[in-house]
Homo-oligomer: A and B are copies of this chain.
Amino acid sequence: MHYPNGKKNHHIRQPAAANRSQAFGNRGMTLEADINATNTYYRDINKANIHKKPTPVQVVNVHYPRRSAAVITEGYFKQPSTTDYNGVYRGRHIDFEAKETKNKTRFPLANIHGHQIEHMKSITKHGGICFLIIRFSVYKETYYIPAETFFPFWDEQFNNGKKSIPYETIRCKGYRIPFHYQARVDFLAIIDQLYF
């Protein structure tokens, strides 16, 4: 990167992971970055309008300097009460949560919060298309799990059931999401199969 003084800028920190991943077509990006890139692509080609919701912040103190933007000087991250992503595709409401795990053998249910499940049950009841995207980062595999498939596993844990879903179960009951260069997590390909 060149700056106006003609010198290269050596001060911007490049995360090592980002450099490394460039050699592999950015396959090493986080799930969130991949989904954001996918949603941007879907919007650019007018395929769907899906966004990540902003992280909720509890603003406690704001400083208003003269002639410049307000500065939040004290704020706290709040627990989201909904899922992270929603939007519209082919007239249908889309709503999902995305999680990646380094675990090789199972997806721990502790990754999801109870109020998110309540939200997903409500969305499903109102006719939205609701699902989870789960990535096993060690295998670089990303799965689409319909919310209706996920709920029984969630509910069962309170009935002396397991606190996790085995990897094999997710492979079997979920749908492997294809990777494309632009639609990096092409979940609409699965929705097309399941709903249209």
Q: Which residues of A contact B (CB under 8 A)?
A: 43, 46, 48-49, 51, 53-57, 59, 69-78, 80-82, 86-95, 119, 122-123, 125-128
Q: Which residues of B contact A122 (CB under 8 A)?
A: 43, 46, 49
A77 touches B70 (CB 8 A): yes
A/B interface sample: 13 pairs, CB < 8 A = A46-B125, A54-B54, A55-B59, A57-B57, A57-B59, A71-B74, A72-B72, A75-B75, A86-B86, A88-B127, A90-B127, A91-B128, A92-B127
B76 touches A74 (CB 8 A): no
User: Told that A86-B86, A93-B93 touch, could you supply 17 new A-B pairs with CB distance under 8 A?
Assistant: A43-B122, A46-B122, A46-B125, A49-B123, A54-B54, A54-B55, A54-B80, A55-B57, A57-B59, A57-B72, A70-B77, A73-B74, A88-B123, A88-B126, A88-B128, A90-B126, A91-B127
With A72-B72, A88-B127, A122-B46 already in contact, the answer to whether A54 and B57 are too (CB < 8 A) is: yes
Please measure, in the bound complex, the distance between the C-alpha atom of A90 and the C-alpha atom of B73, giving whole angstroms. 42
Name the distance in Å between A13's Cβ and chain B's nearest Cβ: 14
Name the distance in Å between A147's Cβ and chain B's nearest Cβ: 13
Please measure, in the bound complex, the distance between the C-alpha atom of A125 and the C-alpha atom of B68, giving whole angstroms. 38
Most buried by B among A43, A57, A89: A57
